[in-house]
Structure 1
Amino acid sequence: MMVIVDYDTGNTRSLSMAFEKIGMPTLISDQASDILQAKGLVLPGVGAFPKAMEALKERGLVGPIREAVANGTPLLGICLGMQLLFDYSLEYGETAGLGLIPGKVLPFPRELALRIPHMGWNSLQVTRADSLVAGVEDEFVYYVHSYYVDCPNEYVLSSSDYGVNVPGIVKNNHVYGMQFHPEKSGEVGLALLSGFKKVVEA
């Protein structure tokens, strides 16, 4: 069973429906026992990094998520959920993340005079070969975010250009992240979720 981590700061229902479309049943849960028994985990997220980390801590989910990953459970973070995978964020001060992928979360540079949040469709450029990103070169996905990840290139599978290089899909062993919303990205998004489904089933 795929478990979508419930901590009241994510678009859990739309993600559950997207996984249903590709034939993957999900359980939306905030129970440590479900997280530890899951075959795959999805960490959604909408909102601010500090509030999200606080919610995970209040529900006692940080330890179980890290333990599940340490035991080899595949994990996919989506949007804010992807940012939580990294070491820390500078959103409203500095807040430690889950530390599952090396890197940090930064605000877009003010000098670029970009429209914030970065909202809308943007194309993906594949930067590292992986089965998950096969066939998504130059495909468009839907972003909504005000901060972006800065991490070593070895963890970036694909990126998008928004004044700066924005990692769109990241990977560290069996931990994956998508900065955009695959559940709002049409057939391309469903194909990417199907790719993660294959990782879980393997």
Structure 2
Amino acid sequence: GRAALAAAAPAGADDDLDAEPPAVSFEELYETAHTRLVQQVFLLTACRYRAVHCVRRAFGEARRHWGTVVASGSPEGWVRVRACELALSPWHRGGARRARVWGLPYRRIKVRPADEAQAVLPDHDRLTDRDRALLKALKQLSRPQRRALVLHDGLGLPAAAVSVEAESTQAAAEGRVWAARTALAQWVPELVGPDPAAPGFADGLSGLLHRAAV
């Protein structure tokens, strides 16, 4: 259920673990990663316009420093790190309603092919009361806890990868995820469950995050 948030491993990825990943152009990255990055950042902001704005700003910086981005080994991860920093910065202002910047085309969030969308109820992509309750609870978390939870339970990144993106120790990353789960269990137990240590709690929370993001 995390396909819209985190890119799936390509078919045959285990066939040759030593093979270098194929080179990706800026345009290809923007086309393939824009939607899921907006969805991921939306969980941090609870504001669609701010999420779009932060992702566009991050892509603009990536294009200006494309050599560095490619050399990082994970162009999408590089953009996500910058977008998350912008989204969580108390000093950053702005939104996607302002004038166009960076020369990038605006794109509406597209979750599924148009032909599939016709088969879904009109309100499927709208936030439900449960989605809003979850987003409100997420906003009450500290910024480091919110970021760690989204990366770990929303995207499915292991704690070691979360620590790299958030520039923390692995122990700190694990502690933030646990603290975030505990807080949500206290604030919205009817939504996520009352016990963060219960079997299935993390999977259930992951599903809720995915639904709200999409």
TM-score (norm 1): 0.25
The structure that has the greater radius of gyration is 2
Bigger helix share: 2
Higher relative contact order (CA 8 A, sep 6+): 2
